[in-house]
């Protein structure tokens, strides 16, 4: 299986009030978690990105992480303190431009010796766009069209200049070959030409990651991505998603091995299954605090519900679907009226309070148990067609993966379910993906 680590910090997965938690923006925290992942022989370390802090009723949503350093800058620092771990950055294809993103990713790939990855995301909302003086900028239907062309241009740029184009031959006096770095692209979203500045890294192209779950997102991933993040970490849904996306690859001339499907997951490990279950309940209740429960209910109801008791029943008032109180939170983007009806049905059928309901409809903890129980469950998930691996999101920063790496990884290695050591130096090596470089003729 493939394993990755994500620094927690979005949604309510993080228990920042835990006494073991330290800074979520300090460089020491990034270094600790990245080096722990590398000690565990993980494929890569992943940073999510937010281009605007979420707001709740017009104020910064302080139950989220109020501060996110720019991902590529952080990963460039981590390249200096790791040797094999892949370094994956989320970079938005709606509010950036191909030239600058391609250059920054090529630089990270060079600095790290071929370990860079790009999680391609898009933005749909004017709320985020206000930071760029563009408002919504694109209709939602156009965002994947722009992202596909964005990626096409980035690949053209990466292919325009390779290390072989810079011989620096003192005997002949030739430093760079004629035409090196030249590119031209004319399309619907981009019309650019010039010369690229940064030679491609050892793996040719950085690994491309995608996280969309819509039909458009799945199709984009099948056509273009090397890795897809999935939210489906429950086996029946995960198998359906896995089969659907893998089934789309053939029409693009790709095989199932060309795309790795890796859902996000959490892990709670203790000496016994019973102790782990108790700890998992404690963690989940800390993640869904009384304030978080009310905020999530308000996000669906579109009403100020601060007067309600989180340990009491759901409000009798009906939602205001057009009123948005929690901005920048994609979880509550769908049909909120339908969500409210479903939540009410669940609460009434099971007699749940507001807080108990929010916990019940959340993801909960994915793998819970003793080290042996967790290793068995993870291995079963992968071998029965649920995923190719997992992106583990710890609930504390930066030591939340320490127990997993110390106690579970050795068991996976003993069973042959996970690598004993790195067998290559690039991220494409770790993922079993071919190094990618388009011919110069295709670039022109």
Long-range contacts of 68-73 (CB under 8 A, 24+ apart): 68/9, 68/25, 69/25, 71/47, 72/104, 72/105, 72/108
Q: Give the angle subtended at the CA of 435 by the CAs of 151 and 31, to the nearest 5°.
A: 80
Is 23 annotated for ligand binding?
no
- Segment holding 410, helix H or strand E: helix 409-414
Structural domain count of the chain? 2
Is 160 annotated for ligand binding?
no
**343 shares its domain with 371:** no
Distance of alpha carbon 259 from alpha carbon 219, whole angstroms: 12
**Whose CA is closest to 435, among 109, 76, 75?**
109
**395 shares its domain with 418:** yes
Question: pTM for the whole thing?
Answer: 0.93
Residue 305 structural domain = 289-361
**426 shares its domain with 347:** no
Contacts of residue 302, Cβ cutoff 8 Å, sequence gap at least 6: 319, 320, 321, 322, 323, 324, 325, 336
Last residue of a domain, one of 361, 390, 408: 361
Residue 436 domain-assigned (yes or no): yes
**251 shares its domain with 164:** yes
Residue 278 domain-assigned (yes or no): no
Residue 294 domain-assigned (yes or no): yes
Last residue of a domain, one of 328, 361, 394: 361
Last residue of a domain, one of 361, 377, 408: 361
**257 shares its domain with 293:** no
Residue 353 domain-assigned (yes or no): yes
Longest dimension (CA), the chain: 83
Is 426 annotated for ligand binding?
no
Q: Give the angle subtended at the CA of 385 by the CAs of 280 and 222, to the nearest 5°.
A: 105
**195 shares its domain with 211:** yes
**229 shares its domain with 302:** no
**Whose CA is closest to 218, among 236, 188, 199, 243?**
243
pLDDT per residue rounded down to tens, the chain (444 residues): 999 999 876 666 778 788 888 888 889 999 999 999 999 999 999 998 888 888 889 888 877 766 678 999 999 999 999 999 999 999 999 999 999 999 999 999 999 999 999 999 988 788 888 988 777 778 877 888 999 999 999 999 999 999 899 999 999 999 999 999 999 999 999 999 999 999 999 999 999 999 878 888 899 899 999 999 998 999 999 999 999 999 999 999 999 999 999 999 999 999 999 999 999 999 999 999 999 999 999 999 999 999 999 999 999 998 887 788 888 876 666 688 899 999 999 999 999 999 999 999 988 899 999 999 999 999 999 999 999 999 999 999 899 999 999 999 999 999 999 999 999 999 999 999 998 765 443 443
Contacts of residue 431, Cβ cutoff 8 Å, sequence gap at least 6: 2, 43, 86, 207, 226, 227, 260
Distance of alpha carbon 364 from alpha carbon 422, whole angstroms: 32
**355 shares its domain with 411:** no
**133 shares its domain with 185:** yes
Cβ–Cβ < 8 Å for 352, 392: no
């Amino acid at each position: 299986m493939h394993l990755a680590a994500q620094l927690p910090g979005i949604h309510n997965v993080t228990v920042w009030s835990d006494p073991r938690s330290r800074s979520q923006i300090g460089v020491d925290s990034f270094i600790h978690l990245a080096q722990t992942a590398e000690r565990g022989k993980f494929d890569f370390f992943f940073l999510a990105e937010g281009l605007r802090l979420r707001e709740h009723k017009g104020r910064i949503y302080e139950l989220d992480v109020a501060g996110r350093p720019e991902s590529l800058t952080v990963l460039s620092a981590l390249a200096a303190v790791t040797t094999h771990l892949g370094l994956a950055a989320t970079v938005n294809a709606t509010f950036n431009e191909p030239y600058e993103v391609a250059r920054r990713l090529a630089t990270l790939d060079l600095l790290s010796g071929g370990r860079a990855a790009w999680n391609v995301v898009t933005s749909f909302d004017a709320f985020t766009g206000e930071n760029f003086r563009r408002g919504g900028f694109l209709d939602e239907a156009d965002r994947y069209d722009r992202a596909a062309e964005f990626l096409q241009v980035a690949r053209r740029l990466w292919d325009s200049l390779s290390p072989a184009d810079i011989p620096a031959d003192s005997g002949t006096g030739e430093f760079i070959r004629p035409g090196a770095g030249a590119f031209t692209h004319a399309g619907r979203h981009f019309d650019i030409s010039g010369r690229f500045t940064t030679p491609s890294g050892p793996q040719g192209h950085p690994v491309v990651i995608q996280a969309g779950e819509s039909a458009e997102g799945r199709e984009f991933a099948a056509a273009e991505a090397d890795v897809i993040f999935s939210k489906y970490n429950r086996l029946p849904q995960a198998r359906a998603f896995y089969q659907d996306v893998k089934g789309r690859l053939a029409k693009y001339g790709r095989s199932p091995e060309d795309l790795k499907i890796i859902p996000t997951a959490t892990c709670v490990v203790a000496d016994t299954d019973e102790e782990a279950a108790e700890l998992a309940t404690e963690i989940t209740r800390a993640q869904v605090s009384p304030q978080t429960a009310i905020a999530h209910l308000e996000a669906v109801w579109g009403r100020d519900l601060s007067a309600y008791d989180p340990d009491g029943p759901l409000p009798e008032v009906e939602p205001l679907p057009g009123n948005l109180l929690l901005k920048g939170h994609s979880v509550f983007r769908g049909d909120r009226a339908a969500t409210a009806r479903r939540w009410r049905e669940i609460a009434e059928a099971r007699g749940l309070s507001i807080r108990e309901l929010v916990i019940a409809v959340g993801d909960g903890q994915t793998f819970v148990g003793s080290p042996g129980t967790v290793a068995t469950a993870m291995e079963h998930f992968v071998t029965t067609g649920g995923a190719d691996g997992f992106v583990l999101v710890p609930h504390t920063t930066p030591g939340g993966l320490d127990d997993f790496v110390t106690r579970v990884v050795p068991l996976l290695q003993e069973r042959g379910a996970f690598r004993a050591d790195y067998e290559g130096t690039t991220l494409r090596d770790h993922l079993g993906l071919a190094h990618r470089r388009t011919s110069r003729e295709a670039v022109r």
